[in-house]
Amino acid sequence: MFISREYDYALRTLRALTKKEQLTVKEICLIEHIPQAFSYKILKKLEKAFIVRIHRGALGGYQLIPQPHAITLYEVYTAIEGGLYINECMQKDYACLHNEGGRHCTIHKELCRMQNDFIQSLRERSLADILKG
């Protein structure tokens, strides 16, 4: 599965943050119908990737750092999911019996092409692009 529930919730979280300067987790969850248990984990990952800023304290909350047009869908994806692999054989250190010793797996080759197309598509689209509709 390319798009996990966590990635979907991350995009919704960012959508909520485009509507107001700063929101609490509770506000984000109410606006976007996201379970709070997911939100804290997602926001921590987005903070680590410098996509959101956390303001602590009684008047704290979360704030979007870059403008929506400057955030690619790929940046969000890698912040949430790490790498993008459509199959385990795409991972760097995976040893495939069908793709070694002079053999070239045609399935692997096609999956690589598909994965690269998907990554390129995510890199070409910003958060602003998908919020426009």
SS3 126: strand
> Which pLDDT tens digits describe the chain residue by residue (133 residues)?
567 899 999 999 999 999 998 999 999 999 999 999 889 999 999 999 999 999 998 889 999 999 999 999 999 999 999 887 776 767 777 676 666 776 777 777 788 888 889 899 999 999 999 998 6
User: For residue 49, what are the domain limits?
Assistant: 5-132
Work out how many domains the chain is built from and give that number.
1
Half-sphere CA count of 117, side-chain side, radius 13 A: 6
Task: Name the one residue in this structure whose structure tokens are 């979360």.
Answer: 62
Is residue 50 a contact partner of residue 79, using CB atoms and an 8 Å limit? no
Buried b (16+ CB within 10 A) or exposed e, 51-77: bbeeeeeeeebbebeeebeebbbbbbb
Q: Which two tokens stand for residue 86?
A: 């459509």
81: CATH = 1.10.10.10
